[in-house]
Amino acid sequence: MNRDDPRHEDSHHDLKIMVVSTQKTGNTWLRFMLATIYDLPTVELPYSFDADAANAFGDRWILQQHLLPEPDLLEWAEQNNVVFITTIRHPGDVLISLYHYVRSFKDKINFHDLAILAQDDGNFGEPVREVVRTQFKEINAVSVDWIATGRTHVVRYEALYADPVSTLVELTGAIAPVSLDRIERAVERHDMGIMRALLQPQSAFFRKGGSGGWRDVLPADLIELLRTTEPYPSHMAALGYTLSADDPWSNLPLRRPAAKAGFLDRAGHSKAATSLLKAIYLSFDSDEAARRWPDVHTAAMPTSFHRWLAALADADTYPGGDLPRLTNFAAHMHASRLDLQATFQDLYGQHRLPYLFWLLEHGVDEYQLDDTVVGPVRAMFAAWATRPDPGDPANRVPSAEPAANLPVLTNLAMFLYRDRPDLQAAFPDVYGQHRLDVIYWLIGAARGEYRLDDTWLVPVQQAFVTWAIRPDAGDPAGSSNRAQPHADLPVLTNLARFVYQRRPDLRVTFPDLYGPHRVDFLLWLIEHAAGEYQFADACVAPLRQEFLAWAMRPGSLAGRQRRRAYLSRYLLRHKRIEQTTAGLVIRALGALRMYRM
């Protein structure tokens, strides 16, 4: 949320927080909650501390890293008023969490020596013991070393999991006090279930949480190894844990505040969509939320909150015109994800269309969004996508000129074209000689490359069909003069000419399109157009009708014999009897007739 948003209390300027701990101790979860509570941007440092990089972050930020308390880091932090926080967790549970983390992400992350955990058979056998005897000692020592400095706020994972509100009240009271409502909303917003739903495909990072699992999961000999092998006994003492089955930190009762966004569980959305809507609702102070949407806990769908989600975004000051607007849902979904903010930085400017296209192409499926949420976005984008491109000169051609018959490019066609350097290189003259190539790509190949809504393509498809079935203006058979030598032949369409010009192999096979190879090419096109080009039947039907009318037309004996030979070929292919005995006889007779002519 914007640090200057008047809905929030003071956002604590000049606050720099480093969460420095052993991995898998809840440091990522804590960082998320503190970033929300203090409205801090998250930054990243490499594994080795870099003062220059840290200085570039500014005055307000939060980061987490498994850094050791080296003197240069401690000195820099003291000079820059950095707050250190260290999370701790029972080493047995850390081991289990680390085990599952490596096995879940082994194909995405290079874990170096820890990769041996992925070779285990699932029973915490020898690969796990090898890690306990080696690398796990250093991993577990990070939090121990930070506690020894006396410079860090210590947060026990078990306390944070059991009673997150009280734990965060105590922590923020020592750093910079905030309201109880802000803490409660942050806890609910970063519930493990919500985070797993929102952080696809990294949801496995937040497995399930909890404490004390080591007692049931780790084999007895592995527990004994932790009990007797240094430095683990010393680590246990420093961290305040035991390997006893009644370890006090492994048996804490759970305490959670009443849910503020629980009404969304009854709204009928998918689990992922519910989690996203909860995050949006909980980004508002409770008093402000109650003022804006007073009926949400009792009203039927759609609630006032849902109506607000569907309304034009409060922050969208677009003055009007042709572009689709953002809804409150679209704007707040963008604000909820750092990756979207990084990719689409100018949300209300140059990245408006790319973001909306991403939302409809990927976001809808990623969150299983229903039309209650995304319907208005879809409708506005469809209205824009299907309008003619205002830059297309075909829009301004007088109807009497031949160019007026060309299919007009739509906003969607040009949006995708401008986003694809490969298309621009292949078809540089989009408003000229390559217009039809781009349109054909859009209604054909683009369907496989993008998740395009069928309604976005309707105007382009209709315009293409209208153009495709018109007679080819260059075909002499289309002349109204019946004395012309070609007047008795089937007329080719724009579609036939388009395919012929795009295919060098066809031009070699049928070199005289308007002469003796006309009908042979026409039969090929009727037979192969649907399979090779996926043209709609409406594009091919006029060619089929023209051929059949010609083939069955009365005339001289020689002319009838020629037409019937072609008709036999057509019927053979159309009825698919080429390989039957009857088919072979008919084909031989047809060839004989053609030979005699």
Q: What number of other Cβ atoms are within 10 A of residue 238's Cβ?
A: 16
CA distance 469 to 529: 13
Mean pLDDT in residue range 443-455: 91
Statement: residue 597 has pLDDT above 70: no
pLDDT score, position 514:
93
**SS3 label, residue 269:** coil
How far, in Å, CA of 182 to CA of 9, rounded? 9
Strand 82-88 vs strand 152-156: parallel, antiparallel, or unpaired?
parallel
Distance CA 225, CA 93 (A): 15
pLDDT over threshold 60, residue 11 = no
- pLDDT for 43 equals 94
Signed CA dihedral, 155, 158, 161, 164: sign only: negative
| More confident position, 289 or 549 | 289
pLDDT band at 586 (very low <50, low <70, confident <90, very high): very low
Residue 500, pLDDT > 50, answer yes
Q: Where are the domains of the chain?
A: 16-183+205-250, 267-385, 393-468, 492-596
Is residue 274 within 8 Å of 373, Cβ to Cβ?
no
What superfamily would CATH give domain 16-183+205-250? P-loop containing nucleotide triphosphate hydrolases (3.40.50.300)
* Residue tagged 């490359």 (tokens): 449
Most confident listed range (215-224, 389-398, 444-453):
215-224
Tell me which of 43-47, 144-148, 209-213, 235-239 is least confident. 209-213
In Å, how far are 76, 298, 337, 447, 450 from 361, measured between CA atoms?
A: 46, 34, 17, 11, 7
Is residue 530 pLDDT above 80, yes or no? no
Q: Which residue has the tokens 């031989």?
A: 588
Least confident window among 210-219, 221-230, 459-468, 477-486: 477-486
Distance CA(342)–CA(197), nearest Å, equals: 21
- Please name the residue that has the structure tokens 């035991």: 242
Neighbouring C-beta atoms of residue 414, cutoff 10 Å: 19
Cα-based distances in Å from 240 to 138, 144, 150: 18, 11, 16
Residue 450's pLDDT band (cuts 50, 70, 90): very high
**Which of 1-5, 534-538, 569-573 is least confident?**
1-5
Q: Specify the DSSP class assigned to residue 361.
A: I
pLDDT digits (tens, 9 = 90+) for 272-283: 999 999 999 999
Residue-wise pLDDT tens digits, 114-134 = 999 999 999 999 999 999 999
206 neighbors 195 (Cβ within 8 angstroms): yes
Q: What is the pLDDT of residues 341-373, one digit of tens each?
A: 999 999 999 999 999 999 999 999 999 999 999
* Strand ranges across the sheet with 61-65: 61-65, 16-20, 82-88, 152-156
SS3 431: coil
Q: Render 184-212 in DSSP notation, one character per residue.
A: HHHHHHT-HHHHHHHSTTSGGGS----S-
Dihedral angle at the C-alpha atoms of 229, 235, 240, 246, nearest 10 degrees? -20
The predicted model scores a pTM of 0.80
The tally of CA atoms less than 13 A away on the side-chain side of residue 587 is 12
* Whole-angstrom distance, CA of residue 326 vs CA of residue 355: 10
Question: For residue range 210-257, what is the model confidence (pLDDT) as tens digits?
Answer: 789 999 999 999 999 999 999 999 999 999 999 998 899 988 899 988
Most confident by average pLDDT, 258-262, 541-545, 593-597: 258-262
Percentage, residues of the chain above pLDDT 90: 68
